[in-house]
Structure 1
C-alpha cells in the first residue's frame, strides 16, 4: 500500500470520497464551486445541508452545531472519515490511502435526482425562492434556540407548538447564486417569522398566531420567542387558556374585535419599550377592567426573553405608564381639543400644538352640556375640537367638530400632555396619550 503524508492525504478530492461513500450531489456546482449533498450524518433529511467546496477541498455541515472557534461545523477529508467511521487519525490515513488507488474523477460524478423546488414568496422588495419547511431537527438551529434560554425538551412535548415551530430553508433572489439559507421559522396567518443568528425577518406577510385553549382568557405575546420563553419560565409545555402571538404590535388593532369576544382575563406579556407601553394603553382602553399586566414580572428588561437570558437593554426603557382611572374607561362623553399654537399658557415643545382630552363627570345630558360649556370657555384658544360619544369599548361617535378644514390635525404623539384638572375651567380628568378614533 502506498503511504501518503498528511498533506497528500488532505489533497484527495472530497467529491471522489463522497462518491466512494455512495453520496451523490443534489446540486452543483453552485457559486464558488460548491456542491450540495444530503448530509451523510442525517440521511433522512429532505433539504441538503452538507456542502463540499471543490476548490478548497473542504466540507461544511450546516445542520450540525459549530465547534468552538468555528462559524460552521466542518473540516477536511480526514475529519470526515474519522467522524463517519469513528476511527483514529492513523487509521483514517490508511483508509484513504487504500481508496486513493481507485477513486473516480470528480467529472464522473452523477447528480442525484434533484429535490422538488420550494415556493417563491415576495416580501416587500425581497423575493425569497425555494422556500421549504420541515420539522425542527437540525442541531445548529436547536442550539440557537437553547442559546436563547429556551427549554428544548419541554417545548417538544407540545405537538401544536412544534407544528408552528419549524426549520425553514430559502434562497434570496439576487444573492449569491445557489446559496441556501436556513433559520427557525414560526408559522403565522400571513407567512413565517424567521429567526437565526444572522437574520430576523418575515417570509410572506405579517400575521398573528392563535393557539386556542380550553379555559377562558387570552395570553398575549409580541413574538414567538416570548411565548417560548414564557413556557420555559413557567415550566409548562402549554397554557390552558388561549395564546395570541402578535408578531408585531401594529397588528393589535386588527385583533381587538376578536379579543372583545373572548371570555376571561386578557394577560399582557408585551415588551417594556415605548411601543409595548402604547399597545398596552390601547388594550386597556378597548377592554376596561379586563387587562392583567404581566410584564411587571420582567420590568427592567426589554422583553421576557431578555429576562430569561439576563440580557440588559441596549437603550433606556421608558418609565412605567400610570394606570388609567376607572372613570376614564367608562365615561360616555368626551371633548378632544387641539389648541392654537399661540394659546395663552401654552407649554410643550416649540412649534407643536397642544392637545388635550376631557371627559364628563356624568354620563347623562348634564355631562354633555358641561363639555359644551367648556368648549365655549376655551373659544378662541382652539385650533380644532371634537365632542364624542362612546358607543362601545373604545369606539366613539362624533357629535360635533370644528376647526381648520374640519379635519384631524397631524399632532406628534409625544406632544400630548397631562393637564392639572384643578385649574379653573377644566372638568373631569385628562387622559395622557389617549387618541380618540372616529
Structure 2
C-alpha cells in the first residue's frame, strides 16, 4: 500500500473503527467529541470529508489521517504507516460475535465501544481506588449483548480486555498492550490493566516513567519476550499468586535474572498491586 492510498483512507471510517461516532454536521465538516479528550460535552473535533483531514479546535492542531494516527496512538510516522497498512476498515461500533475467553466459550455481541462516562463503571473504578482522570486516558466503555457493559482496555491488535464488577473477559484477538513511556532505559511489566492503572494512581502520574507492557494474561508472556529483550532493565510488577510467581520465574530463567527487578516485594502481602492500593494505608 503506497503513501497516496494510505492518505486516502477515510478519516470518518477510521474514527468509526475506534468507536467514535459523529455528533453533528455542517455543510463541509463532521463534528465529533474529541478522541484526545475522552470526556467533553461539546464536540471540538472536526473532519472535512472532501479534504480527508481533521482539526482539533482545543489545540488548533490538525492534519491528515497519518497525523491523526500518530497523535491518537502516540506513535511515530513509521509506526502510523504500519498501523494504517494493516487497517481493514472493520468498524468496532457495529455488532460482531466474539468469543468470551475468560468465562465461557459462548459467543456474545459487542454492540458499541465509546468514551468512558458510564457512572456505574466510574463508581467501580472509584471502589478500586483508581484515579478517574488516569482511567479515562486508557479505558473506554463497551456495550455487549442487550444491556450489559464493561470497562474496555484495548490491546495492540485491536482486541479488548473487558471487565466489570461481576466478571473479566475479552474479545479476539487477544494479545499484549504496549504503552510508550518517557524513559526507554527500562520497561514496566504488568499482568493486567487494573494493576497498571493502580501504578499510575499510586505515583500520581498519567504517563508511565518507562515504556510499559501489560500482558493481559500471563499466558501472553511469550509474546512480550522479544520486546523485553531490548531493555537494560525489566521492572516486574506481576501478581503474587502462583500464576504471577510462575511467570516471574520464567522471566528470570529466560533473561538469566540479571536485569529483572522484582517489584512485588513492595506488596508481597497482597494479591496484586491493586489489592495493595485498596487495602494499604497509603
How far 1:188 moved relative to its partner?
1.2
How far 1:240 moved relative to its partner?
2.5
* Matched position secondary structure for 2:171: strand
Q: Could you list the per-position Cα deviations for residues 342-391 of structure 1 after superposition, in whole angstroms to 9, with x for gaps in the alignment?
A: xxxxxxxxxxxxxxxxxxxxxxxxxxxxxxxxxxxxxxxxxxxxxxxxxx
Quote the residue 2:97 is aligned against.
120
TM-score, normalization by structure 1: 0.40
Structure 2 gap ranges (5+):
1-20, 24-92
1:167 counterpart (134, 141, 160): 141
The CA distance in 2 between the partners of 1:284 and 1:122, in whole Å, is: 33
| Contact 1:218 1:266 (C-alpha < 8 Å) held by counterparts | yes
Say if 2:264 is the partner of 1:295.
yes
How far 1:290 moved relative to its partner?
0.3
How far 1:254 moved relative to its partner?
2.3
User: Are residues 131 and 189 of structure 1, via their aligned partners in 2, closer, same or farther at CA, if it must alter by over 3 Å?
Assistant: farther
The CA distance in 1 between the partners of 2:239 and 2:207, in whole Å, is: 21
2:247 counterpart (258, 279, 286): 279
How far 1:186 moved relative to its partner?
0.6
How far 1:285 moved relative to its partner?
1.7
2:152 counterpart (174, 178, 185): 185
Q: Which has the higher contact order (CA 8 A, sep 6+)?
A: 2
* Matched position secondary structure for 1:252: helix
Quote the residue 1:304 is aligned against.
273
Structure 1 gap ranges (5+):
1-43, 47-115, 157-162, 172-178, 312-438
| Contact 1:219 1:242 (C-alpha < 8 Å) held by counterparts | yes
How far 1:123 moved relative to its partner?
4.0
Say if 2:237 is the partner of 1:269.
yes
Q: Flag the structure with larger Rg.
A: 1
RMSD of aligned residue pairs (Cα, Å): 2.2
The CA distance in 2 between the partners of 1:274 and 1:122, in whole Å, is: 26
The CA distance in 1 between the partners of 2:162 and 2:208, in whole Å, is: 23
Structure 1 runs (4+) greater than 4 angstroms displaced: none
Q: How many residue pairs are counted as aligned between the two chains? A: 185
User: Are residues 169 and 227 of structure 1, via their aligned partners in 2, closer, same or farther at CA, if it must alter by over 3 Å?
Assistant: same
User: Are residues 130 and 195 of structure 1, via their aligned partners in 2, closer, same or farther at CA, if it must alter by over 3 Å?
Assistant: closer
User: Are residues 132 and 155 of structure 1, via their aligned partners in 2, closer, same or farther at CA, if it must alter by over 3 Å?
Assistant: closer
Quote the residue 1:200 is aligned against.
168
The CA distance in 1 between the partners of 2:135 and 2:148, in whole Å, is: 24
How far 1:141 moved relative to its partner?
1.0
* Matched position secondary structure for 1:204: coil
| Contact 1:188 1:206 (C-alpha < 8 Å) held by counterparts | yes
The CA distance in 2 between the partners of 1:230 and 1:45, in whole Å, is: 34
Say if 2:132 is the partner of 1:152.
yes
How far 1:130 moved relative to its partner?
4.2
The CA distance in 2 between the partners of 1:227 and 1:253, in whole Å, is: 19
How far 1:206 moved relative to its partner?
2.3
Q: Could you list the per-position Cα deviations for residues 243-300 of structure 1 after superposition, in whole angstroms to 9, with x for gaps in the alignment?
A: 000011111122212211x223100000001111111111112223101111111011
The CA distance in 2 between the partners of 1:239 and 1:121, in whole Å, is: 31
Quote the residue 2:190 is aligned against.
221
| Contact 2:239 2:271 (C-alpha < 8 Å) held by counterparts | yes
- Which range moves more in the overlay, 270-279 or 196-205? 196-205
TM-score, normalization by structure 2: 0.61
The CA distance in 2 between the partners of 1:227 and 1:119, in whole Å, is: 28
